[in-house]
Amino acid sequence: MTEVTAPQTQAREAGTQTLTMAKALNAGLRRAMEDDAKVVLMGEDIGKLGGVFRITDGLQRDFGEGRVIDTPLAESGIVGTAIGMALRGYRPVCEIQFDGFVFPAADQIITQLAKMRLRSLGKVELPVVVRIPCGGGIGAVEHHSESPEAYFAHTAGLRVVACANPVDAYWMIQQAIACPDPVIFFEPKRRYWDKAVVDPEVPAAPMGDARVVREGTDATLLAYGPMVKTCLEAAEADERSLEVVDLRSLSPLDTETLFASVRKTGRCVVVHEAPVFGGLGGEIAARVTESCFYHLEAPVLRVGGFATPYPASRLEDHYLPDLDRILDAVDRTCAW
């Protein structure tokens, strides 16, 4: 392995900027690499090409091939190598090209990465970040439009987070890299081109905190990743006062923020792209019911994908939750 080197050319950019989520992730990675010479990026075509979605564009040019490493098309090897590098003091950030390609690396993630810290009685830290572009909405098919978050949230020993906007993308990727635990970092690919003002001097909330992104009194919409924007659009389109909460961290869950919102509104709809059957919505609904039972005016409802393989691109608009399906659930909970 080539020894890592300090950044060669680009100085840190200062001041607020309007960035897409893709550019915000790039800026966050750049800042993390400038701050810590042990941060190393690994993945397929992430060097000269800058990655399929250009998240690492220009980073190999500025930090060298020793820190932005083009790997073979072998996801298990990428994560396995990252585990070894983390044991030697590096902070590897792995890029999985598409969500469905993470499964060949599942054994390394679930069997090794998640368990090493407990196995060493806490003596070994594994600061490995696995970045996964997730979800649909870009006209791709199965293997390129999956929502595998429940698999990893079910695995103790992993932190699982999902950004939903450029500001969180910029800060959360840096927080994930600084975390001593392994982090599965989901990036909603259909939001890569959404823009927002990012101020590099005003940090976002801690990575583990949920956030109320729209206040309301009639019902709570709980969402994460790509569905946060869809829920905000649904809330804007509806005459009722709907509160929208961005979970941000899927494991561990910031349940106190969720519970406070549901206790205020008395009604709750959980929204995600993944199939409802076996999805995170079931776990969240159970926890809300257990802790907020006497505040609920109606059962917790769930809106998500169907229990089918991800469909052909011409059908994905029917598969993905939209405003109509979300507001239909709001109608049902408010009519209870």
Q: Which active-site residues does the annotation give?
A: 144
Compute how many other C-beta atoms are within 10 angstroms of the C-beta atom of residue 110: 17
Runs of H (alpha helix) within the chain: 21-35, 59-63, 75-87, 106-107, 116-119, 149-153, 166-178, 227-237, 255-265, 280-292, 316-319, 323-334
Q: How many alpha carbons lie under 13 Å from residue 199 in its C-beta half-sphere?
A: 4
Query: DSSP secondary structure string, 212-255?
Result: EEE--SSEEEEE-TTHHHHHHHHHHHSSS-EEEEE--EEES--H
Q: What are phi and psi of 38, to 5 degrees?
A: -90, -5
User: In the block, which residue shows the tokens 């979800």?
Assistant: 135
Strand-pairing partners, residue 249, are: 161
Q: Look at residue 98 and give its three-state secondary structure.
A: coil
Sign of the dihedral through C-alpha 189, 195, 199, 202: negative
User: In the block, which residue shows the tokens 């993470």?
Assistant: 102
Q: Look at residue 305 and give its three-state secondary structure.
A: strand
Strands of 1-38, DSSP E: 17-20
Element (H, E) at 283: helix 280-292
Eight-state DSSP code of residue 306: -
